[in-house]
Structure 1
Amino acid sequence: MRSLRRSAGLLLSVLLLGSLMAACGESSERDASSQPQGATLRVRIGTQEFPEAQILGELWRQALAVNGYTVDLRKGIGPAEDLDQALKDGDIDGYVAYTGTVLSIVAGEEVSGLDPDETYDRAKDFYAGQDMVMSEMTPFENKDAIATTAAYAESNQLAAIGDLADVEGLRLGARPEFEDLQLGLTGLSDVYGLSGVEFVPIELGEQYAALADGQVDAVDAFTTDPQLEDGDVRLLEDPERLFGSQNVVMVVGQDKLDSIDADAFVAVVDAVNRTLTEKTMVDLNAQVTAGRDERQVAAGFLRSVDLMTPLDLG
């Protein structure tokens, strides 16, 4: 009987010790802001499925890691609405977001005509009502654009999309749904007066080959496509901002920020974001498209801008 009581007492002690350790673990996460630099702070970040979003996730993950954060990077969760829901459900703590997509897809607002600052401010206000916080935005945007070969632009004196209105028999290639979109051929007609355009449906990813082969005169492109690296393709300016603005931010739940060293976390993310120009992203995208692993590409870039060592956070 004494042996039984001793065993029961030992079991109770183990259970109490386990409960105490679990409580300490929870306290450690809640009180992380008071921990010394280098303490492990866990954050789950989600990305969309395309390479650029995954590169951005890697850039943040690695920069945060050298500043004491442990980041669980979950790549390819899905489009913006899926990431937003995953954050609301508590499956992730933050994600890669594009300001114009947030405003149009998640918030259901118009984006045409808005410059980057206006788009950012509206997206930030929307997220504030969802208990979510946005980082600073990147200098670069990844949005729809109209592109021609450099030679075609020069021979037809093209600088902006509106100049295409003077081109007779224009053949425009784009993904099939582009023809009927306001942020597509319909909007190009309404805003820039393009008429009599021959629309050529082309699957996404094949438009540059069609442009190079002379099957079309202009294509729908994205402003950080890797094919822009060699300079043979010219993006036409969109002065009326038909396609809106699409800068990148990290979106984080307010509850998560309250449980970690929020100032340090945001400072690291913002430091990365400030280095990301359009030229930089075209280059990083081109490296990954050529077969390099996004983790290596991200590490190489962060070293080049001195972000693979801890920030001096004062």
Structure 2
Amino acid sequence: MAALAALTGCTSAAAAPGRPTVVIGAKQFTEQWIIGELYKQALTDAGYDVELKSNIGSTNIIDGALTSGQIDLYPEYTGVILQVLAEAKSVPTNAADTFNEAKKFQETRGLTLLKPTPFQNRNAVAVKPAFAKEHGLKTISDLKKAGHVVFGEYPDNLEGALGYHDMVKSYGLNDTELKTLNIGLQYTALDHGQVDAADVFTTDPQLAKGGYKILEDTKGYYGFQNVAPVVHRDVLKEQGPGFAKVLNRVDALLTDQAVREMNRAVDTVRLAPSEVADRFLRANHVT
């Protein structure tokens, strides 16, 4: 992966005096750790004084940290903003409208969204290939063919427009048993037969190995999940226009392939998120 090539020769700019320290937050899984490091390192190199707090917790927990002033910004998924925070009863049918509605909601709270990433990390339903073959599964609705199905779902995604309960209702999965699992544990649960199907993310590096089958979302149920920094508007004013430009430059580089490879570098190759972020930024001439 070219983005993870070992490059050298970067020197960081000195932090400008008089600007407050910006505290970046990140949720408790690999992709968020990496994006948090990308933001921190790019901003630090551009001369901003930055602190990163990773592993904060679920959407509601990190949103509480943001609104209470414990952090100043964090990367969030546009569909999650509408589903979990705005508690929307329905979500838009395209990425642009999803972003615009999410930004509109955040601006009612003294926050805003910067530009979204090209990549999106959508939810999907995965099963083991043998289970799919046994029951003839190609789509989510085909799970009805398997009879009683134990479904692994993470706690943040039970309710709301993209949540488990509405998904089951939408697809008519009347014989489905819920098993709640923290993000990252669903693959082990599938491998050990603890669940028959599970909610996964489309940028998970585990999916590249061919050991899992994604069932087609024929209803387009799971919506759109581009990432955008959620930030206090007063922080943008304090830091000046160059601050948003740095973050926008980083996010513009985050394609599906780039994010999958960085996730793989952490989860499979076992590099530290900070090292992966550093190599990516250097390879793309950001730092």
TM-score (normalizing by structure 2): 0.78
SS for the counterpart of 2:282 is: helix
Partner SS state of residue 268, structure 1:
helix
Give CA-to-partner distance per residue, 1:113-159, whole Å, 9 cap, x none: 64322221111111222222211112233343101235655786655
Query: Offset of 1:188 from its aligned partner?
Result: 3.5
Task: Provide the C-alpha distance between the structure 2 equivalents of 1:293 and 1:156, rounded to a whole number of angstroms.
Answer: 40
Cα gap change, 1:172 to 1:184, in 2 (>3 Å)? farther
> Counterpart of 2:62?
83
Q: Which amino acid in the other structure matches residue 270 of structure 1?
A: N
Give how far 1:294 is off: 0.9
Which residue of 1 is the match for residue 7 of structure 2?
Answer: none
AA partner of residue 56 (structure 1)? I
CA distance in 2 between partners of 1:74 and 1:119 (Å): 27
Q: Which has the higher helix share?
A: 1
Displacement of 1:63 after TM fit? Answer: 1.4
TM-fit CA distance, 1:266:
1.6
Rounded Cα–Cα distance in structure 2 between residues aligned with 1:306 and 1:153: 44
Task: Name the CA shift for 1:176/1:47 in 2 (closer, same or farther; >3 Å).
Answer: closer
Matched, 1:72 2:47: no
Residue identity opposite 1:267 in structure 2? K
Distance in 2 (CA, whole Å) between partners of 1:289 and 1:297 is: 11
SS in 1 for 2:219: coil
Counterpart residue number, 2:267: 289
Measured after TM superposition, the shift of residue 282 of structure 1 is 2.8
Higher relative contact order (CA 8 A, sep 6+): 2
Determine the C-alpha separation between the residues in 2 that align with 1:289 and 1:279: 15
> What are the within-5 Å matches in structure 2 for residues 212-291 of structure 1?
212-213=191-192, 217-262=196-241, 264-290=242-268, 291=270
Conserved? CA contact 2:59–2:156, under 8 Å: no
Letter in 1 for 2:245: A
- Shift of the 102–196 alpha-carbon distance from structure 1 to 2, 3 Å rule, reads closer
The structure having more radius of gyration, on CA atoms, is 1
The worse-fitting range, judged by mean Cα deviation, of 221-230 and 83-92 is 83-92
The alignment yields a C-alpha RMSD, in angstroms, of: 3.1
Q: 1:121 to 1:217 in 2, by over 3 A?
A: same
TM normalised by structure 1 equals 0.72
Q: How many angstroms apart in 1 are the aligned matches of 2:234 and 2:156?
A: 39
Secondary structure of 2:49's aligned partner? strand
Residue number among 145, 152, 155 corresponding to 1:174 in the alignment: 152
CA contact (8 A) 2:126 2:212 kept: yes
Give the corresponding residue for 2:4.
none
Which deviations, in whole Å up to 9, do the C-alpha atoms of 1:101-123 show, x marking residues without a partner?
22233223235564322221111
Contact 2:79–2:224 under 8 Å retained in 1 = yes
Could you tell me the percent identity over the aligned residues? 35
Matching residue of 1:46? 25
Q: 1:117 to 1:238 in 2, by over 3 A?
A: farther
- Out of 140, 144, 153, the position equivalent to 1:161 is 140
Against the structure 1 CA distance between its residues 103 and 48, is the aligned structure 2 distance closer, same or farther, given a 3 Å change threshold?
Answer: same
* Structure 1 counterpart SS, 2:119: coil
Aligned length: 269
CA gap 1:135/1:272 in 2 versus in 1, 3 angstroms? same
Q: For 2:159 and 2:59, locate their aligned partners in 1 and report how far apart those are by CA, in whole Å.
A: 19
Q: Is the 8 A contact 2:116 2:251 kept in 1?
A: yes
Q: Distance between the aligned counterparts of 1:231 and 1:144, measured in 2?
A: 18
| 1:239, distance to aligned residue in structure 2 (A) | 4.0
2:86 alignment partner, one of 85, 92, 107: 107
1:201 maps to a residue whose letter is: K
Indicate whether 1:122 and 2:101 are aligned: yes
Give yes or no for contact 2:122–2:224 (8 Å, CA) kept in 1.
yes
Distance 1:109 1:283 in 2: 32
